[in-house]
Structure 1
Amino acid sequence: MTGAFQASLLGLDEELGVRPLGGAVRRTVLDHGAWIDVRRGWLSGADTLFARLTEVVPWHAERRHMYDKVVDVPRLLKFYDEGETLPDRVFDEAMRALDAHYQEELGEPFRTVGLCFYRDGRDSVAWHGDTIGRGSTEDTMVAILSVGTPRSLLLRPRGGGPSIRHDLGHGDLLVMGGSCQRTWEHAVPKTARPTGPRISVQFRPRGVR
């Protein structure tokens, strides 16, 4: 069951599009060569996009082996590889803006778009790094755009330690860079508090999952 979504009053009647990055990006340098950037309210019209994505994306559920049983993945998913038609033109605009801002530092463009639909507080993702592919051995970037109800995204050093929390939604952007996928982990924990749905949009370079 999907929770009720409450739109942001600030997001009503806004035209859908990305705002400038530049000086609005706030970087936090982490240990072991990792860092995160946060740009609050990067996407204007974020609530419009959220509503559109719930309708047009062919969401699917997955089941995965965990220990000695097969369990449901607690969120809905969709991955768009290079060359696939994206569900909204604003994703192309977003990737162009990310490329312009990070090209010198990243050295390559963002290529793929992954989507996760957290329907309510029971949906979550456990501690992990995006280490399928080049993220396991190379510095890279993963940019996460959040639309819908804010949810907590936690980061902690790999192996445990104090966590950092960012509540992301309504068009917020968080970029994990440097060694972040190898030396830190991130998670969206379950919550017993009533919460509405959120969609996470992940932009990645080629060969990073």
Structure 2
Amino acid sequence: MDFQTTLFEAPPSGVPGLVDALSTTERHHLGAGAWVDVRRSWLPQADDVLSTLVEQVPWRAERRQMYDRLVDVPRLLHTYMIGEELPHPVLTEAREALSEHYLPELGEPFRTAGCCYYRDGRDSVAWHGDTIGRGSTQDTMVAIVSVGDPRRLHLRPRGGGDARVFETGHGDLLVMGGSCQRTWEHAVPKVAHAGPRLSVQFRPFNVF
């Protein structure tokens, strides 16, 4: 795995420490009720989480219809559904901390964890919004924890307008909230050179 681990990784902090660290999250208002929260270097033991995800998640490759042929989806995927044990205890602590911190706004806990494995710069995800389920009609949140090489998350308003770019690095947290899933789209484009990057997207019930 071609990835340079950090020499200054945050020590284990537990749920209370993770909740306290969220007090320094920076909120970016996008307009139309949409916002993005960013907290750099939030996840402890990011190096260990990265290696555990690569080795233990039952990754699957998907194919999709593109015009008259099937093509490979350019990343590997797996989703931990409600009640399934996450592959690293720090991820369980992260989900609990996010649920506690965002409960006043979200009104419910985060329940599922979708995992994406971008193996190199050729892996990507096209423009989309998580609008299957309640996200198509209600304000909600998707909390993304990233480990591995930095990649850029691009956001653009549905229907056109200026795009915003957020770089997500090793151990960073990015939360899309408010109307973001309905009024904005997001993508992770291909890049010329990048090492492995994994993201874990925590979602409430029936948000996909």
- Report the TM-score range of the alignment, normalised by the length of the smaller protein: over 0.9
> SS at 2:48's partner residue?
helix
Q: Calculate the TM-score normalised by the size of structure 2.
A: 0.94
Letter in 1 for 2:206: G
Contact preservation (8 Å) 1:152, 1:165: yes
Could you tell me which runs of 5 or more consecutive residues in structure 2 were left unpaired when the two chains were aligned.
none
* Deviates most, 32-41 or 81-90: 81-90
Contact preservation (8 Å) 2:44, 2:90: no
Contact preservation (8 Å) 1:21, 1:101: no
Q: State the Cα deviation string for residues 8-27 of structure 1 (Å, max 9, x = none).
A: 22228x44756333431000
What is the match of residue 6 of structure 2? 8
Letter in 1 for 2:199: S
Q: Calculate the TM-score normalised by the size of structure 1.
A: 0.93
Distance 1:16 1:47, change over 3 A: farther
Matched, 1:128 2:128: yes
What is the rounded CA distance, in whole Å, between the counterparts of 1:25 and 1:152 in structure 2?
A: 18
What is the match of residue 60 of structure 2? 60
Letter in 2 for 1:118: Y
Contact preservation (8 Å) 2:150, 2:170: yes
What is the match of residue 39 of structure 1? 39
- The equivalences for 1:156-171 within 5 A come to 156-171=156-171
Letter in 1 for 2:24: A
Could you tell me which runs of 5 or more consecutive residues in structure 1 were left unpaired when the two chains were aligned.
none
Aligned length: 205
Letter in 2 for 1:204: R
Contact preservation (8 Å) 1:16, 1:46: no
Contact preservation (8 Å) 2:22, 2:39: no
- The equivalences for 1:129-148 within 5 A come to 129-148=129-148
What is the match of residue 188 of structure 2? 188
Letter in 2 for 1:8: T
What is the rounded CA distance, in whole Å, between the counterparts of 1:48 and 1:134 in structure 2?
A: 34
Letter in 2 for 1:94: A
